[in-house]
């Protein structure tokens, strides 16, 4: 598992997603244009606290040493950490993913470097866990490894992040650099930094934090390693400069000393003292260049993490028109000045004038298996970030196939568009939406970035008006997978609209054969529903019409559907299923307990279970529906968050 499986073409393994939709921020005054260069700026006082209340007049932007007028400005204040009134709010992530990335919030990457020693693993993991604890509404985080480890791409699901952090790691003994073939000259550390920063560069208006955990990062070498380090170092420097990435380094060895690391019991000497100073200098180089900090407090990592997160609570987004709009491909230096004295300013140091190569997919088709997949759809699922040109939401749940050797993934995608952009092309009149042909392409990837299965379908759609300004419809698809964890990427192309969008999500397929008791995913259905495109994708798989909606009114009829399985490793035994709804104060407002007889499972070793959600009796607010199957000492559980308005 060399570095991040998709790091070369993105940031982490094929698991990027938006697990939770951020809260709606205050409407910004920033208006972007594809011709503008964005500069995210943090201004910190002497206590490294954000300086608020600045205006565009307080800033000056220099491009290649020459002033450029600021034509767009926004002051961003992130929402404070919420004091959650219910425990489930911090443990149950929304099951519906969205593709709206251009919102205020931070992108945080925790990079476990190959230099972490075995004895330092505990301190490294505690620091990473403290990072997860500090995430706010709108923040997305990822976990990466420069050599060994299974990464986790961007998500707001804390459970997934903690699982990636707490997995068994293999650390090296003190001062053992490992086999040179794994990371010759330590170059993989700089390569990882460069890959991550380069992948983050296209994202606009978000603060980007890279927290590198390791005892050393090779920056310079006067020996034979210089030929390897020099290009990797320059690429990493340019990437963090252009991507406006603030780098923080955490040394899990302990508090900084002038001679040997804290806790090192071997005798000190001049050579070891100089080597330690070089090591500390290496760890400080990237933070000093990007305005970050070097941290070395394994005793109180949560305090140190809280400090660095406070630094990015408030920031500014400046936009200027480049002096070279012809996409010359060169690196152009950017310098930002502020009128306030005795402050620290964090801002990108430059940008590349190169334009994104136009997709050769426009108008062509490419064969995959026996299906002809439009190239715009393939392009929409091949990037690090989902394509937000079309607003999409997705929910994907597994249902075991008859022999329990794998699962069919039922995927529901909700498409939302505005009348302003669609009326000229899609609608014959605001009252009479025209039929449109929609291409849907879904592909499942493992953590190494390999595409394991895909589906493609062309459907005819007549959207319905959602509000006076928007219309929507939902489409379904199906992919068969073996047990494991996958990322599901789905792209939708509306041929009349001439636009494509994509959305990413995760799906975990249990080992239904071996698990004593297991549940499918949970599907929600609602009446009256929206426009669900007729299709046979889920025919014979589920008896309900699923939806991505999780916001209901008291007049809706809402139900939830799951399927319970008993594996083939044991004799069928009786059990029972408990469905319970908790409100936002952890109070149980609904409970249903159903006894299951062994005969109900039959040859399929499965039984269906439905819950009528009493939204008409629930007060407006947030809720979680939990379904737990219990058979003897074995349990399986599924949870879905929803809102009643």
Counting the structural domains of the chain, the total is 2
Tell me, yes or no, whether 465 and 612 share the same domain. Answer: yes
In the chain, the percentage of residues whose pLDDT exceeds 70 is 80
pLDDT of residue 286: 93
Split at pLDDT 50, 70, 90, the class of 200 is confident
pLDDT of residue 138: 80
Neighbours of 263 (CB within 10 A): 14
Tell me, yes or no, whether 263 and 373 share the same domain. Answer: no
Residue 354 maps to a domain? no
Tell me, yes or no, whether 291 and 420 share the same domain. Answer: no
Give dist(CA 15, CA 142) in Å, integer: 10
Residue 67 maps to a domain? no
Q: Where are the alpha helices (DSSP H) in 217-322?
A: 226-243, 270-290, 301-311
Tell me, yes or no, whether 274 and 388 share the same domain. Answer: no
Domain that holds residue 145: 37-45+78-314
pLDDT of residue 26: 32
Residue 8 maps to a domain? no
Instruction: Supply the mean pLDDT for the chain.
Output: 80
pLDDT of residue 169: 64
Residue from 488, 502, 494, 503 nearest 462 by CA: 494
pLDDT digits over 82-107, tens only? 677 888 988 898 999 998 765 668 89
Tell me, yes or no, whether 241 and 388 share the same domain. Answer: no
pLDDT digits over 548-569, tens only? 999 999 999 999 999 999 887 6
Split at pLDDT 50, 70, 90, the class of 45 is very high
Neighbours of 450 (CB within 10 A): 12
Neighbours of 103 (CB within 10 A): 17
Split at pLDDT 50, 70, 90, the class of 178 is very low
Tell me, yes or no, whether 391 and 271 share the same domain. Answer: no
Tell me which of 251, 283, 314 is where a domain ends: 314
Residue 131 maps to a domain? yes
Residue 359 maps to a domain? no
Tell me which of 294, 314, 334 is where a domain ends: 314
pLDDT digits over 583-632, tens only? 999 999 999 999 988 778 877 889 999 999 999 999 999 999 999 998 87
Tell me, yes or no, whether 249 and 395 share the same domain. Answer: no
In the chain, the percentage of residues whose pLDDT exceeds 90 is 37
Tell me, yes or no, whether 111 and 214 share the same domain. Answer: yes
Q: What is the pTM for the complete model shown?
A: 0.76
Instruction: List the CATH number of the domain containing 167.
Output: 3.40.50.410
Residue 339 maps to a domain? no
pLDDT of residue 370: 38
Tell me which of 295, 314, 333 is where a domain ends: 314
| 94, 19 contact by CB (below 8 A) | yes
Tell me, yes or no, whether 620 and 480 share the same domain. Answer: yes
Query: Kind and range of the H or E element at 197?
Result: helix 187-200
Mean pLDDT of 13-35: 36
DSSP secondary structure letters along 32-53: --TTPEEEEEEEE-TTSPBPP-
pLDDT digits over 125-136, tens only? 999 999 999 988
Give dist(CA 284, CA 94) in Å, integer: 38
Give dist(CA 521, CA 536) in Å, integer: 20
Residue 332 maps to a domain? no
Give dist(CA 267, CA 264) in Å, integer: 8
pLDDT of residue 263: 52
pLDDT digits over 496-546, tens only? 777 889 999 989 999 998 888 899 999 999 987 766 666 677 888 899 889
pLDDT digits over 353-369, tens only? 754 333 333 333 443 44
pLDDT of residue 372: 64
Tell me, yes or no, whether 283 and 419 share the same domain. Answer: no
Tell me, yes or no, whether 297 and 402 share the same domain. Answer: no
Residue 27 maps to a domain? no
| 175, 276 contact by CB (below 8 A) | no
Tell me, yes or no, whether 296 and 182 share the same domain. Answer: yes
pLDDT of residue 600: 84
For 113-117, 426-430, 460-464, which range has the lowest pLDDT when averaged over its residues? 426-430
HSE at residue 417, side-chain half, CA atoms within 13 A, is: 27
Give dist(CA 36, CA 334) in Å, integer: 13
Most confident of 273-277, 357-361, 417-421, 610-614: 610-614
Q: Is the pLDDT reported for residue 5 higher than 60? A: no
Give dist(CA 54, CA 68) in Å, integer: 18
């Amino acid at each position: 598992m060399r570095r991040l499986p998709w790091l070369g073409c993105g940031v982490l393994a094929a698991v990027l997603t938006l697990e939770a939709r951020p809260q709606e921020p205050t409407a910004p005054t920033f208006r972007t244009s594809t011709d503008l260069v964005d500069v995210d700026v943090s201004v910190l006082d002497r206590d490294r606290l954000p300086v608020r209340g600045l205006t565009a007049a307080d800033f000056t932007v220099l491009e290649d040493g020459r002033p450029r007028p600021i034509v767009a400005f926004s002051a961003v204040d992130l929402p404070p950490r919420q004091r959650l009134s219910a425990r489930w709010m911090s443990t149950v992530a929304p099951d519906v993913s969205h593709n709206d990335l251009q919102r205020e919030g931070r992108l945080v990457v925790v990079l476990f470097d190959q230099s972490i020693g075995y004895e330092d693993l505990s301190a490294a993991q505690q620091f990473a866990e403290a990072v997860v604890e500090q995430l706010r509404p709108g923040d997305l985080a990822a976990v990466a490894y420069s050599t060994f480890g299974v990464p986790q791409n961007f998500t707001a699901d804390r459970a997934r992040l903690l699982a990636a952090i707490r997995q068994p790691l293999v650390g090296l003994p003190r001062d053992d650099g490992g086999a040179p073939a794994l990371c010759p000259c330590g170059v993989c550390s700089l390569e990882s930094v460069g890959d991550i920063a380069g992948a983050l560069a296209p994202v606009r208006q978000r603060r980007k934090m890279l927290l590198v955990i390791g005892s050393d990062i090779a920056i310079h070498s006067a020996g034979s390693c210089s030929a390897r380090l020099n290009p990797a170092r320059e690429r990493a420097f340019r990437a963090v400069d252009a991507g406006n990435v603030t780098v923080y380094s955490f040394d899990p060895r302990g508090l900084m000393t002038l001679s040997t690391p804290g806790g090192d019991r071997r005798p000190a000497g001049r050579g070891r003292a100089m080597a330690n100073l070089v090591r500390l200098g290496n760890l400080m180089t990237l933070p000093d260049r990007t305005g970050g900090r070097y941290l070395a407090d394994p005793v109180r990592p949560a305090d140190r993490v809280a400090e660095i997160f406070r630094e990015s609570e408030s920031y500014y987004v400046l936009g200027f028109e480049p002096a070279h709009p012809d996409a010359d491909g060169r690196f152009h230096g950017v310098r930002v000045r502020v009128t306030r004295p005795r402050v620290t300013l964090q801002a990108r140091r430059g940008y590349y004038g190169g334009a994104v190569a136009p997709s050769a997919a426009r108008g062509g088709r490419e064969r995959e298996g026996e299906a002809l997949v439009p190239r715009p759809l393939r392009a929409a699922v091949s990037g690090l970030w989902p394509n937000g040109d079309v607003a999409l939401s997705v929910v994907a749940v597994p249902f075991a196939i008859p022999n329990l050797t794998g699962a069919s993934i039922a995927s529901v995608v909700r498409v939302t568009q505005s009348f302003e952009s669609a009326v000229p092309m899609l609608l014959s009149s605001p009252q009479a939406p025209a039929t449109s042909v929609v291409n849907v392409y879904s592909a499942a990837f493992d953590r190494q970035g390999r595409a394991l299965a895909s589906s493609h379908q062309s459907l005819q759609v007549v959207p319905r008006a959602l509000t006076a300004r928007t219309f929507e419809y939902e489409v379904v698809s199906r992919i068969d997978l073996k047990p494991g964890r996958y990322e599901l990427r789905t792209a939708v192309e509306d041929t009349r609209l001439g636009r494509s969008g994509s959305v990413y999500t995760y799906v975990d397929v249990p080992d239904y054969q071996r698990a004593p008791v297991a549940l499918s995913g949970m599907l929600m259905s609602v009446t009256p529903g929206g426009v669900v495109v007729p299709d046979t994708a889920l025919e014979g798989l589920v008896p309900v019409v699923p939806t991505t909606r999780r916001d209901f009114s008291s007049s809706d009829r809402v139900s939830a559907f799951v399927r319970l399985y008993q594996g083939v490793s044991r004799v069928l035994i009786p059990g029972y299923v408990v469905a319970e709804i908790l409100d936002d104060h952890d109070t149980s407002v609904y409970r249903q307990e159903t006894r299951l007889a062994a005969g109900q499972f039959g040859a399929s070793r499965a039984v269906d279970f439905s819950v009528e959600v009493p939204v008409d009796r629930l007060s407006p607010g947030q809720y979680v529906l939990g379904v737990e199957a219990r058979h003897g000492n074995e349990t399986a559980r599924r949870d879905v968050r929803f809102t009643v308005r």
